[in-house]
Amino acid sequence: MSKGLVLITGGYGRLGRDFARAFREDGWSVLLAGRDRDKLSAAAQETETDYQVLDVTQEEQVLGAKRYVEERYGKLDVLINNAAVMRSEPVETMAPALFLKSITTNLYGTFLCTHHFLPLLKKSEQALVINVASTAAHRADAGSAAYNASKFGLRGFTEALRKELRKTDIRVTSISPSMIRYGEAPAQGKGAGLNGRDVADAALFLANAAGRSLFIDLEMWATNP
Ligand SMILES: NC(=O)c1ccc[n+]([C@@H]2O[C@H](COP(=O)([O-])OP(=O)(O)OC[C@H]3O[C@@H](n4cnc5c(N)ncnc54)[C@H](OP(=O)(O)O)[C@@H]3O)[C@@H](O)[C@H]2O)c1
């Protein structure tokens, strides 16, 4: 029997697929959401998950995915707001369209998905929203203004939402990894790096934690850089 339904935005991305594998292996039903149908169906086949086309910036698509979840599953247990644009450039040379795209995807997209899926999260007995932030949500760097602004904003959004929902028992948290490496990785040692699977395991920990416990943010670094 399934532990519940997890929806992952940016689902065919690198971390999205690590989330999907980790949750599937732990007995959850997984719905991968992404904007390119071909990439999405390939990733869903690879990770043995269900899928829905969903561009997080398109309200009609968010509503379409919500209808699908409502009709097929009746509720949503875990929403992982993972989709993001990570490119950035120095402010002086950055195309205004890139700045806007970062804010629209990373911040407005998270708002849209959370806003529309909230009624289905409220039907779960132990709902959880995980916003994938970054160490870039805590510390800014030259050349990273668009990404920093979107992720700092995401941290503020997460905190406000947590306070709004705390009395409902819906947990809202963020994970803030530093640079992630993907694929096979040594267990530890100089330069081993933080792996996508480590971040997915942190999300699993949050999802399996007692419903009475509320984590604020899991900031994750690699040891021994
Ligand atoms: N990689 C790192 O070192 C790192 C470190 C800290 C935090 N993070 C965070 O981890 C999350 C996942 O990143 P990643 O490393 O897996 O990068 P990734 O492989 O580039 O994945 C990002 C995903 O977001 C999707 N996306 C972008 N715009 C979208 C939209 N409008 N609607 C729906 N999906 C959209 C992308 O799809 P397309 O291919 O169609 O654009 C892609 O599948 C992000 O929130 C990122 O900020 C990453």
Q: Which domains does the chain have, with CATH numbers?
A: 5-220 (3.40.50.720)
Which of 35, 37, 104, 139 for a ligand 1 pocket mutation test, highest count of atoms within 8 Å of Cβ? Answer: 35
The phi, psi pair for 190, rounded to 5°, reads -50, 120
Beta carbons within 10 angstroms of residue 219's beta carbon: 15
Q: Is 127 in the pocket of ligand 1 (CB under 6 A)?
A: no
Beta carbons within 10 angstroms of residue 124's beta carbon: 19
- At 1-31, the pLDDT tens digits run 999 999 999 999 999 999 999 999 999 999 9
* Residue bearing tokens 């040594």: 186
* HEC string for 10-76: CCCCHHHHHHHHHHHHCCCEEEEEECCHHHHHHHHHHHCCEEEECCCCCHHHHHHHHHHHHHHCCCC
Q: Is 82 in the pocket of ligand 1 (CB under 6 A)?
A: yes
Q: Provide the CA 153 distance to its chain's centre, in angstroms.
A: 15
Sign of the Cα torsion 105, 87, 12, 161 reads negative
- 66, 147, 167, 190: the catalytic one is 147
pLDDT at position 42 over 90: yes
Q: Which atom of ligand 1 is nearest to the CA of 82?
A: 45
Q: Is 14 in the pocket of ligand 1 (CB under 6 A)?
A: yes
Is-contact 222 194, C-beta < 8 A? yes
pLDDT of residue 185: 87
pTM for the predicted model, two decimal places = 0.99
- At 108-162, the pLDDT tens digits run 999 999 999 999 999 999 999 999 999 999 999 999 999 999 999 999 999 999 9
CA–CA dist 133, 74 (Å, integer): 28
Quote the ligand 1 centre to 81 CA distance (angstroms): 10
- Indicate if 51 belongs to the active site: no
SS3 state of residue 167: helix
- At 160-192, the pLDDT tens digits run 999 999 999 999 999 999 999 999 988 999 989
CA–CA dist 65, 6 (Å, integer): 13
Q: Is 34 in the pocket of ligand 1 (CB under 6 A)?
A: yes
CA–CA dist 173, 157 (Å, integer): 11
Quick one: average pLDDT of 44-70? 98
pLDDT at position 56 over 90: yes
CA–CA dist 86, 150 (Å, integer): 10
- 51, 123, 151, 167: the catalytic one is 151
Which of 86, 88, 220 for a ligand 1 pocket mutation test, highest count of atoms within 8 Å of Cβ? Answer: 86
List the residue whose alpha carbon is closest to atom 27 of ligand 1: 84
Question: What six digits make up the tokens of 169?
Answer: 């028992």
Question: What six digits make up the tokens of 131?
Answer: 């916003």
Question: Torsion angle of alpha carbons 198, 175, 77, 214, nearest 10°?
Answer: 110
Quick one: average pLDDT of 186-206? 95
